Every structure is written in structure tokens, then in C-alpha cells.
Amino acid sequence: MKSTKQGRCYEKQKLVTKRKNTEKKERKTYNFKHPDMQAVETLSAKEVAQEKWNKRPLIIAGPCSAETEEQVLETAIRIQQTGKVDMMRAGIWKPRTRPGSFEGIGTKGLPWLQQARKITGLPVAVEVATGKQVEDALHFDVDVLWLGARTTVNPFSVQEVADALRGVDVPVLIKNPINPDLELWIGALERVAKAGIKQIGLIHRGFSSYGNTEYRNAPMWHLAIEMKRRNPGVLFINDPSHICGRRDILQDVAQKAIDLDFDGLIIETHRDPDKAWSDAKQQVTPERLAEILEAIKWRREDVASEEYHAALEKLRQQIDQLDDELMQILGQRMKISEKIGQYKKESNITILQTNRWNEILERAFAKGDKLGLSKEFITKYFDAMHMESISHQNKILNS
């Protein structure tokens, strides 16, 4: 009798073999017309998914949750009819914050996605959070998998999924963790990569933030930008649905993501959003989705123009010069702060002087407003400078 581990390895090998055989059988299932070809070339499901994965911008849309077969198929058809969507998403398993909420239709919804793909030709994507869910999704030939925010936050869960992915050739998207921790996000990417997955993408869906009222999940764009900087070349898409939590501001967040050079969008789309079984407020109809995508100003990272590059380089040199001067001024400020720290040490005075700090901030707010600088920026900038100053003075007092 095989051990449990041997049995799981055997089952996984069966899944891999089944997936390869299915790709051969489906070679005549989908017609994909290349823009540079007049003839229609017949491609396998995997080849269609690969074509879409490499497209920029990549647009993924579909319901938060698969609810019924009719709902999945109608939504898929209407999404496909927009001509603007590359892949369909649908939640099969839904990890919810509190018990009692709809936690997904489960495995019985996977054949609905197979049928949706067969009818529309759109590759399908689902969220997975356990090894068993990975196996079930692969058994039903799901084209793309993604790890949700509640999975990314737990290294044990990520590792379980990664172990289930070993030996499998399937694209995987990884959402940022719920809390604003880049190391957890990077760790999830590394675990999936070490499992042998070659095609990995990242999804920015915002972060949980205490007191945040404008968004369901605060975008914290600076964290997304830093993650993108650390992982150049990795597919990076934005999820405005989960950032916004409501449909009326989807357009603005989607546009900002594109302005920041994201590679695409994943937007929750439902045939009848107000009657959705989960996250109704943040979903839109396929027709509204088309309007949003049509209204976006799609920008490029670069343009082949010598005049443009010459003008940009001149302005960048000016910024570099100002940055150098700013660093020199900050260095001088810290030297003065150290001298103040020495006086405080000799007089046995505390580092923090609240009244003085309030005076500095009020003056900065007034001047910043005249210069077109937001109060939020002034607060963050001066807080950082203040903490650095305290650090310098602390070394003096304790030396």
C-alpha cells in the first residue's frame, strides 16, 4: 500500500498528465485570431491563456463569486461581448472575515467555468487557498490561479499552495497581504517561484487600514510602487474593486493605476451586481465595465521621440540638482539638531518638545499651502524628518 505522501504525489502526477492530455484534446476548441494574420489559427486552451497572459494591458473580469451556472454563463457571455476582456475570474472558494457569510459555491462551480470557457473562449482564473483547492482547480483545467490577500498573509498557507503547485505549469497571480507588509508579499512570491512556477504576477488590491473611510482597502500606492521597483519585469495588475469597495470611484482608481504604469486591471463584474451574493457594492455590469475601460486614458511608459527624451532629460537633470541640494540642507539641519541635543544633555532636558514641534508643523502647513503642497505630504515629510532628528539627539543624550 502506498504511503499518504506517495499517494498524493501519484494523484498530482495524474493531474499533470490529465492537464497535458486535455490540452491536446482541446486544440480544436478555441479560435484565436492574431491581429497580424488574416487567417484564423486554431490554438489550444493553454496557448490562448498564454497569449492573453502576455497581452498588455491585461484585463480580467468576472463575478466576485460563482453563484449559479446560469449566472456564470450569462456574465461570461456579456463580458466576452464587450470585446475588452482577456480573462474571466470567478470566486469558487471565498475566505470570509466572519462565519455565516457566503463562503463560495465550492468545487461544483468549476464545471461552470469550463463551460464558460468553451462558450466564450476566455481563459478562466480562480482563487486557491489550500493544496486541495489547487488540485481541484487543476482537475477542471483552470487556466490561471491566484492567491488571495488572506492567504498571502500566512506563510504556512502559501507554502501549502506552493507545495501543491510543484511540477505544474500554470500561471499564478499573488495578491498583496491584507496588512501593509511588503516582506510577506515578497515571501509569497519567492515561495511560489521556488515551487518551479515560471509565470508569476502580482495583484495590488489595497491594504487594511484602521480609520480608513474613503476606501474599503487603502491603496497605499507607495507600497505598490516599491513592490514594482523591487520586481521589474513581473506582471503587475491593479484590483480597483477591492480598493474601492464601491463602484462609484472605480474609474478614478483604475485610471491612477494605469497612470502609474500598472500592466492591467482585475475588476469584479456581475450580470446583476445589486443581487450579488457577495461584495455587491463593488461590482459592475459588463456594460458598465466596457464604459470604464473605454474612458480610461491608456498611457505608455515610453515613446520613441528624440525631442521628448531631450526635454525630459533636461528636466530630470534639474530635479537631480535640486535633490542633491535638498540632501545637503537636510544634512545641515541634522548637524544643528545634534548641537541642540548637546545643549539638552547638558541641561538635562527631554528630547521631545511638543509645543516647539506644533509650532514647526503649523508654520509648515501654512507655507506648504501657498506652495501647492498637500497637508498629507507635509505631515509625512516633517514626521520623517522629526524622527530622524530625534534619533540624532538620542545618540547624543545617551553617548
DSSP labels, 192-214: HHHTT---EEEEE--B--TT--S
Q: Pull the grid cell for residue 141.
A: 483545467
Please tell me the total number of residues recorded for the chain in this structure.
Answer: 399
* Closest to 207 in 3D by CA, of 196, 198, 220: 220
Rg (CA), the chain: 26
Q: Tell me, what's the pLDDT at 296?
A: 97
Terminal CA-CA length for the chain: 69
Q: Give the Å distances, CA to CA, from 229 to 44, 182, 223, 234.
A: 34, 12, 10, 10
Calpha distance 64→93 (Å, rounded): 10
* Closest to 266 in 3D by CA, of 90, 71, 137, 94: 90
- Burial string for 90-102 (b: 16+ CB within 10 Å, else e) reads bbbbbbeeeeeee
Q: Tell me, what's the pLDDT at 225?
A: 95
pLDDT, tens digit (0-9, with 9 covering 90-100), for 337-348:
999 999 999 999
Q: Tell me, what's the pLDDT at 43?
A: 78
Phi, psi at 207, each rounded to 5°: -130, 145
Query: What is the bridge-based pairing of β-strands 235-238 and 58-62?
Result: unpaired
Query: What is the pLDDT averaged over residues 19-30?
Result: 47
Return the bridge partners of 284, or none: 269
Q: Pull the grid cell for residue 252.
A: 478614478
Task: Indicate the pTM of the whole model.
Answer: 0.79
Q: Tell me, what's the pLDDT at 353?
A: 87
* Closest to 248 in 3D by CA, of 284, 220, 217, 218: 284
pLDDT at 18 over 70: no
Class of residue 288 by CB neighbours under 10 A (exposed 0-12, middle 13-18, buried 19+):
middle
pLDDT band of residue 209 (cuts 50, 70, 90) is: confident
Lowest-confidence region among 38-52, 252-266, 293-307, 383-397: 38-52
pLDDT at 313 over 60: yes
Q: Pull the grid cell for residue 222.
A: 507607495
Residue % of the chain over a pLDDT of 90: 78
Q: Pull the grid cell for residue 105.
A: 459555491
Asked if 91 and 55 touch (Cβ cutoff 8 Å), the reply is: no
Query: What is the pLDDT averaged over residues 20-47?
Result: 51
Calpha distance 92→106 (Å, rounded): 5
